[in-house]
């Protein structure tokens, strides 16, 4: 079975500062990894995904993530935070073969300080 751990249920950064949201996974087989964002009263929006091609993945809204197999990590970063980035962020894993659907982390609430 696979699992996802997101370090920090809340992360606060100043506007213009670096955003770093941490995600570690466990999977018995090479995984597919995803980051989603959820704004209040809305569904999930796909930011980016890793599917065993390039280890550095660029997504929408200036976000990117790097797959590090040795560290079993897939941290999400953005060089400069914007007020509109305030939301809940979820890391998810799905193992190759896709038998179990997406397994999500508990989420990280990103707060942007003006």
Partner 1 sequence: KAGVTQTPRYLIKTRGQQVTLSCSPISGHRSVSWYQQTPGQGLQFLFEYFSETQRNKGNFPGRFSGRQFSNSRSEMNVSTLELGDSALYLCASSPWTGSSYGYTFGSGTRLTVV
Only one of the segments 12-20, 61-69, 78-86, 102-110 lies at the binding site for partner 1 (rule: CB under 8 A); that segment is 102-110
Within 8 A by CB and 6+ apart from 55, the residues are 66, 67, 68
Considering the rule CB under 8 A, would residue 36 count as an interface residue with partner 1? yes
Considering the rule CB under 8 A, would residue 63 count as an interface residue with partner 1? no
Only one of the segments 10-18, 62-70, 73-81, 101-109 lies at the binding site for partner 1 (rule: CB under 8 A); that segment is 101-109
Task: Report the distance separating Cα 32 and Cα 84, nearest Å.
Answer: 27
* Structure tokens given for 36: 């989603």
Task: Report the distance separating Cα 14 and Cα 52, nearest Å.
Answer: 33
Binding footprint of partner 1 on the chain (CB under 8 A): 32, 34, 36, 41-46, 49, 51-52, 90, 92, 94-107
């Amino acid at each position: 079975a696979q699992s996802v751990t997101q370090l920090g249920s809340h992360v606060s950064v100043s506007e213009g500062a670096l955003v770093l949201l941490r995600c570690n996974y466990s999977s018995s087989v090479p995984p597919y990894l995803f980051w989603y964002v959820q704004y209040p009263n809305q569904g999930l929006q796909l930011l980016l995904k890793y599917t065993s091609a390039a280890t550095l993945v660029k997504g929408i809204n200036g976000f990117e993530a790097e797959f590090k197999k040795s560290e079993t990590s897939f941290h999400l970063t953005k060089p400069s935070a914007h007020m509109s980035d305030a939301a809940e962020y979820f890391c998810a894993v799905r193992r190759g073969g896709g038998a179990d659907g997406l397994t999500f982390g508990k989420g990280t609430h990103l707060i942007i300080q003006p």
